[in-house]
Amino acid sequence: MTQFFDYLILGLTRGSMYALIALGYTLVYGVLQLINFAHSEVFMSGAFGSYIIVHLMVGKGPGTATWEVPFVFIVGVLSGAITAAIIAWLLERVAYRPLRRRGAPKLAFLISAIGASFFLSTLASKLFNSQTSNQFPAFFRNTVLFSIDGAHVRSLELIIIVSALGMMFFLDRLVNTTKLGRSIRAVSEDAPTAALMGINIDKTISRTFVIGGLLGGAAGFLFGLNYDFGFNMGFVPGVKAFAAAVLGGIGNIRGAMLGGLLLGVVENLVNLVPGFNTAWTDVVAFLVLVLVLMFRPTGLLGERLGRAA
Amino acid sequence: MTESMLGLVDVEVRYGNIRALKGISFEVGAGEIVALLGANGAGKTTTQKTISGMLRPSAGSITYEGSRIDGIPAHELIGLGICHVPEGRHVFPRMTVAENLEMGAFRFKRVDRTDLEHVLGLFPRLQERYRQVAGTLSGGEQQMLAIGRALMGKPRLLLLDEPSMGLAPLVVQQIFDIVRQINTAGVTVLLVEQNAAQALALANRGYVLETGEIVLTGTGPDLLADDRVRAAYLGEEIAS
């Protein structure tokens, strides 16, 4: 049982990061019917943005007073989120909007996304000396908080899970109860009609990218705290999060949350099966995706693909 | 005709190389119900979409309450009191009836309670279905919701595109009665219809469109008596 809880905690930690990134894919898909393949780089930019700010605040880390830790943490999340939001906003302006204006075919958007993705990761590689193993300053001690049946829950894991769930709850409220959320849903459901209601479609699309960027950037910071990171860090979590979004039903916000958590948990729990080890993690993640799509092509919570008639 | 509210002069609209509207001109007076008639593909929907800003004219001008509005995007035009009920209703299928009605009032800071009560009074069915998701409504209910949603935007000019499409005759009669009520309350209506008899019975005046041009105009009874209109709404080609 100890092992079970160990892997469950690990799965929830990774899964909540997948979920945050997956939301960026699914939100943008909702308003544009487009997979923003550069979103993995938006995530990466969040890690670097927060890294710079946190480094400026605490240097190498030791000597950070206990009372400063929550403050550094909050600034870290915010700086990651804001960096990524700016990148996401620029991405929409530079890589997608001009194509949209000209009524370009979907394939052009895909190529543009891949180009932007290469550009951003290469840029990060140049700026940060191609290092792939950057580490955040050790500004707090990752202590064991409590144990469940012998499985340790560390402060970092708890922070990641709780803050990710908090952000997801906040997004859910935003989308379902605010005017901004309602305009995003209206553009997702029927953009030309949303315009007839007085909604500025361009602005709404921009805001959607920014929201996706905020969540992805926060995930970038959380990921950076937990693992070594570098310019190429976006690829695997990005692909996993994309898979999670599809698993939950692309375009469906709660689906992305569910898909992310589920994917994280399943790919780690598989370690309990005799004969499997961590080398199987990625295989299992995509196997789950394929299996679910075979029986539910629209994903777990997806009602349909494409727009309603 | 009373004071002109909406005026189109030589409006031309292109889809690529195809001229969907070949320079049409007409006017709608304040307080009128004007019907745009014609067969499929004549350009009725294109005309309405151009007025509401969903399409841009390639030539000509559109004047509304004394100022040019062609080229203004749709989301700004609603601020001038032009509300468009598009063809095929286009309610937001995954939002509830309540949310759809609130969407109609999106341009305002908050929903006007009196408007909401007025709309629910006109369409008691919407009251019954208030918390239901719009995608599950019947066609007639969706049409009512689409009209109700437009009314939430406090229209001065209401563009109605084929409100009778696919509905049972009884429901169509209900909806046309309500359109008359809306008009009596002071809203100018530009109605696009294939159902010429019913539309002309309601409208003060009508225009007949054929392949992007206006071929006939007159008052309701005049047009109803016209052989070419009779031929058209029986589904035959209009002799031109």
The predicted complex's ipTM stands at 0.91
Chain A residues near residue B81 by CB distance under 8 angstroms: none
Would you state the pLDDT for residue A143? 83
3-state secondary structure (DSSP) of residue B64? strand
* B229: closest CA of chain A, how far (Å): 32
Would you state the pLDDT for residue B225? 84
Would you state the pLDDT for residue B240? 43
With bands split at pLDDT 50, 70 and 90, how would you rate the model's confidence at A123? Answer: very high
> Nearest-CA residue of chain B relative to A192?
B54
The angle at the Cα of A265, spanning A261 to A266, to the nearest 5 degrees, equals 115
- In which residue are the tokens 């480094």 written? A55
Q: How far apart are CA A61 and CA A55, in angstroms?
A: 8
> Nearest-CA residue of chain B relative to A189?
B92
Burial code (b: 16+ CB inside 10 Å, e: under 16) for A62-89 equals: eebeeeeeeebbebbbbbbbbbbbbbbb
A176 touches chain B (CB under 8 A): no
pLDDT digits (tens, 9 = 90+) for A259-273: 999 999 999 998 888
Is the distance from CB of A270 to CB of A281 less than 8 angstroms?
yes
Residue A185: pLDDT above 50? yes
A196 touches chain B (CB under 8 A): yes
B106 touches chain A (CB under 8 A): yes
Q: How far apart are CA B1 and CA B28, in angstroms?
A: 8
Chain A residues near residue B96 by CB distance under 8 angstroms: none
With bands split at pLDDT 50, 70 and 90, how would you rate the model's confidence at B230? Answer: confident
Q: How far apart are CA B161 and CA B181, in angstroms?
A: 17
Inter-chain contact B54–A196, Cβ cutoff 8 Å?
yes
Q: Please, what is the end-to-end C-alpha distance for chain B in angstroms?
A: 27
Residue with the bigger pLDDT between A139 and B8: it is: B8
Chain B residues near residue A308 by CB distance under 8 angstroms: 93-94, 135
The mean pLDDT of B116-131, rounded to a whole number, is: 96
Would you state the pLDDT for residue A307? 42
Residue A91: pLDDT above 80? yes
Would you state the pLDDT for residue B231? 72
With bands split at pLDDT 50, 70 and 90, how would you rate the model's confidence at A133? Answer: confident
Which of A179, A189, A195 faces B74 most closely, judged by CB atoms? A195
Which of B84, B93, B99 faces A182 most closely, judged by CB atoms? B99
Which of A189, A192, A199 faces B106 most closely, judged by CB atoms? A199
Would you state the pLDDT for residue B106? 95
Q: What region does B210 belong to: left with phi over 0, alpha with psi -120 to 50, or beta? A: beta
Inter-chain contact B75–A189, Cβ cutoff 8 Å?
no
What burial class does residue A279 get, using C-beta atoms within 10 Å of its C-beta: 0-12 exposed, 13-18 middle, 19+ buried? exposed
Q: Tell me the pLDDT of chain A averaged across its residues.
A: 91
Which of B74, B84, B92 faces A190 most closely, judged by CB atoms? B92
With bands split at pLDDT 50, 70 and 90, how would you rate the model's confidence at B232? Answer: low
Q: Is the dihedral of CA B56, B204, B193, B80 positive or negative?
A: positive
B100 touches chain A (CB under 8 A): no
Q: What is the DSSP string of A184-199?
A: HHHHHHHHHHHHHTT-
Residue B1: pLDDT above 60? no
Q: How far apart are CA B90 and CA B149, in angstroms?
A: 11
* B152: closest CA of chain A, how far (Å): 10
Would you state the pLDDT for residue B238? 45
Would you state the pLDDT for residue A284? 86
* A85: closest CA of chain B, how far (Å): 25
pLDDT digits (tens, 9 = 90+) for A9-37: 999 999 999 999 999 999 999 999 999 99
B220 touches chain A (CB under 8 A): no
The mean pLDDT of A164-169, rounded to a whole number, is: 96
Would you state the pLDDT for residue B234? 54
Is the distance from CB of B112 to CB of B154 less than 8 angstroms?
yes
Helical pair A281-295 and A235-248, crossing angle rounded to 10 deg:
20
- Structure tokens given for A157: 């894991």
Q: Which of A116-125, A299-308, B13-22, B91-100 comes out lowest in average pLDDT?
A: A299-308
Domains and CATH numbers, chain A: 2-137+154-295 (1.10.3470)
Inter-chain contact B94–A308, Cβ cutoff 8 Å?
yes
CA of B18: how far to CAs of A33, B21, B56, B58, B192, in Å?
A: 28, 9, 14, 11, 21
Which of A183, A193, A198 faces B90 most closely, judged by CB atoms? A193
Q: How far apart are CA A44 and CA A50, in angstroms?
A: 10
Which of A185, A190, A198 faces B75 most closely, judged by CB atoms? A198
The mean pLDDT of A230-236, rounded to a whole number, is: 92
With bands split at pLDDT 50, 70 and 90, how would you rate the model's confidence at A94? Answer: very high
Q: How many CB atoms lie within 10 A of CB B240?
A: 8
B205 touches chain A (CB under 8 A): no
Residue A309: pLDDT above 50? no
A23 touches chain B (CB under 8 A): no
Chain B residues near residue A196 by CB distance under 8 angstroms: 52, 54, 74-75, 78, 83-84, 86
Q: How far apart are CA B36 and CA B199, in angstroms?
A: 9
Inter-chain contact B93–A308, Cβ cutoff 8 Å?
yes
With bands split at pLDDT 50, 70 and 90, how would you rate the model's confidence at B163? Answer: very high
The mean pLDDT of A211-229, rounded to a whole number, is: 95
A195 touches chain B (CB under 8 A): yes
Chain B residues near residue A205 by CB distance under 8 angstroms: none
B8: closest CA among B194, B43, B203, B81? B43
pLDDT digits (tens, 9 = 90+) for A169-184: 999 999 999 999 999 9
With bands split at pLDDT 50, 70 and 90, how would you rate the model's confidence at B208? Answer: very high
3-state secondary structure (DSSP) of residue A245? helix
Would you state the pLDDT for residue B235? 53
The mean pLDDT of B214-229, rounded to a whole number, is: 86
Would you state the pLDDT for residue A308? 40
Mutant choice from B46, B56, B101, B106 vs A, greatest count of A C-beta within 10 A? B106
> Nearest-CA residue of chain B relative to A252?
B94
B78 touches chain A (CB under 8 A): yes
With bands split at pLDDT 50, 70 and 90, how would you rate the model's confidence at A147? Answer: confident
Chain A residues near residue B104 by CB distance under 8 angstroms: 197
Mutant choice from A185, A196, A252 vs B, greatest count of B C-beta within 10 A? A196
> Nearest-CA residue of chain B relative to A303?
B94
Residue B159: pLDDT above 80? yes
B87 touches chain A (CB under 8 A): no
